[in-house]
């Protein structure tokens, strides 16, 4: 009994060691589409609606470690360029609204994969559908805004003191910054193994995120800074209407950037694409 127990431990350790030598590295390429408060709400969109304003794409690198014939874990590093445009929305209110934009989404994820058929063996060719799911860190562009209220000037650049409360200019400037959140990726795919070491996968993966601002539709008021020209503050009209006009314009600008449902429903994005990997190392050891 003791000999059998010792043999089992040695065999398990050997299998674990050999398993650790089964690796895959490669890359991914696909088309991402965002599901948010601006633009089209279709879940799967492998062909972009319009590439004249920019081509959405997803590109990444991956590493896969196979535990056995059917199970493995995958590490992804992915960059996504997404576009959203109300012009292609089915909803009438979105189409009439006409908002559009783009964002850059960075994803680092760890995924568990399950293949329905044996595919991680040393056979020359094989294929299998598979499912995957995991957790991801998500980074994206997150702009900050400055609202400048300044005295108007004539053609020679000389200041023109306001003659009435709304007789001044307001400018909005945008500065890029980043925001980080988390997501839950999951999906399905079909994997084809060929020439012993190569694997080609076709997959559709959805990403639920913990943010509602991938399309910049739920900007928080705290992200807007208001600057007021000292000449306006010193004007006799400042407390007679200029101050109220400044607040009205500020509210209007912020309202234009809060077209979503303000964090009541978070954004999703879906990536439809392919993965190509090369496997190396000894095959996994399978112990019954």
Q: Where are the domains of the chain?
A: 21-142+177-216+265-288, 143-173+220-256
pLDDT class of 248 with cuts at 50, 70, 90 = very high
Query: Cα–Cα distance between 182 and 101 in angstroms, integer?
Result: 22
pLDDT tens, residue by residue, 1-27: 444 434 443 443 344 444 434 899 999
With contact defined as beta carbons under 8 Å apart, do 193 and 283 qualify? no
Residue 222 carries which DSSP code?
G
Q: Is the pLDDT of residue 286 over 60?
A: no
What are 193's two structure tokens? 């193994």
Is pTM, for the whole model, over 0.85?
no
CATH 2.40.160.20 is the classification of domain 21-142+177-216+265-288: yes
Cα separation, 269 vs 3, in Å, equals: 55
**Residue at token pair 């006799």:** 236
- For the record, the structure tokens of 281 come out as 């190392």
Question: If residue 18 lies in a helix (H) or strand (E), which one and from where to where?
Answer: helix 2-19
pLDDT at residue 6 in the model: 43
């Amino acid at each position: 009994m003791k000999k059998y127990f010792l043999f089992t431990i040695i065999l398990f350790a050997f299998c674990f060691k050999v398993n650790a030598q089964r690796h895959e590295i490669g890359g991914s390429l696909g088309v991402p589409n965002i599901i948010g408060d601006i633009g089209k709400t279709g879940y799967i969109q492998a062909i972009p609606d319009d590439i004249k304003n920019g081509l959405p794409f997803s590109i990444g690198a991956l590493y896969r470690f196979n535990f056995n014939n059917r199970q493995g874990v995958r590490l992804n590093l992915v960059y996504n360029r997404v576009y959203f445009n109300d012009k292609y929305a089915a909803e009438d209110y979105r189409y009439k609204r006409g908002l559009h934009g783009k964002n850059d989404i960075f994803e680092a994820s760890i995924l568990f994969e399950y293949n329905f058929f044996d595919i991680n063996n040393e056979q020359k060719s094989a294929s299998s559908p598979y499912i995957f799911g995991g957790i991801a860190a998500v980074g994206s562009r997150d702009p900050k805004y400055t609202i400048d209220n300044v005295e108007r000037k004539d053609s020679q650049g000389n200041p023109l003191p306001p003659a009435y409360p709304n007789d001044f200019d307001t400018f909005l400037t945008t500065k890029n910054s980043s925001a980080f959140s988390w997501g839950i990726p999951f999906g399905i795919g079909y994997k084809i193994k060929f020439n012993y070491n190569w694997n080609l996968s076709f997959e559709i993966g959805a990403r639920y995120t913990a943010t509602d601002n991938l399309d910049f539709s739920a900007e928080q008021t705290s992200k807007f800074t208001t600057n007021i020209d000292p000449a306006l503050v010193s004007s006799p009209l400042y407390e007679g209407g200029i101050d109220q006009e400044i607040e009205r314009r500020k509210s209007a600008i912020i309202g234009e950037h809060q077209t979503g449902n303000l964090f009541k429903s978070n954004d999703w994005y879906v990536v439809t694409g392919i993965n190509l990997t090369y496997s190396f190392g000894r095959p996994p050891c399978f112990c019954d």
